[in-house]
């Protein structure tokens, strides 16, 4: 199993970029397409635990204004062979000093790459002296 397949990294980078664009634009249709459409899909958010594509889609449609705007700080893409991979991302919401974290497990399906599992969290506020330099 290769953990550094260049074509898989390129594909997952493109998918992650699509996700970030859809999130920023609150394009719920595009976000739905990026998730595996099955009951196995899980998304743990900052304040919600969602099980299955239907719950995830309903959450997005009921979220007023979409996700708060954010800036990507760091992204690591780790292929697991050529049919799966993990995208780990650090971000900061505009106007906040707290660091957010997002991890997505992607699978390569006959219909393209899809998110099977996602987890989003926001770190506790760090004292000024402990904040990493960006």
Query: What would the mean pLDDT of 103-129 be, rounded to a whole number?
Result: 92
Instruction: Count CB-CB contacts under 10 A for residue 112.
Output: 12
CB 93 within 8 A of CB 100: yes
Q: What is the mean pLDDT of the chain?
A: 93
Distance CA 131, CA 39 (A): 39
Distance CA 10, CA 56 (A): 26
Residue 64 has a pLDDT of 84
Residue 65 has a pLDDT of 84
CB 4 within 8 A of CB 12: no
Distance CA 48, CA 102 (A): 14
Collapsed DSSP state (helix, strand, coil) of residue 37: coil
Global confidence as pTM:
0.90
Confidence of residue 127 (pLDDT cuts 50, 70, 90): low
**In this structure, what are the phi and psi dihedrals at residue 8, rounded to the nearest 5 degrees?**
-70, -40
């Amino acid at each position: 199993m290769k953990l550094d397949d260049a074509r898989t990294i390129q594909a997952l980078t493109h998918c992650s970029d699509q996700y970030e664009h859809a999130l920023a634009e609150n394009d719920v249709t595009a976000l739905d397409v990026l998730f595996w459409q099955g009951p196995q899909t899980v998304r743990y958010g900052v304040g919600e635990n969602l099980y299955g594509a239907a719950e995830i889609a309903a959450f997005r449609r009921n979220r007023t204004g979409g996700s708060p705007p954010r800036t990507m700080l760091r992204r690591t893409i780790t292929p697991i062979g050529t049919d799966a991979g993990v995208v780990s991302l650090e971000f900061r919401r505009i106007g906040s000093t707290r660091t957010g974290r997002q991890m997505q497990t992607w699978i390569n399906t006959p219909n393209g790459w899809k998110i099977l599992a996602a987890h989003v969290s926001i770190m506790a506020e760090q004292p000024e002296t402990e904040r990493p330099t960006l």
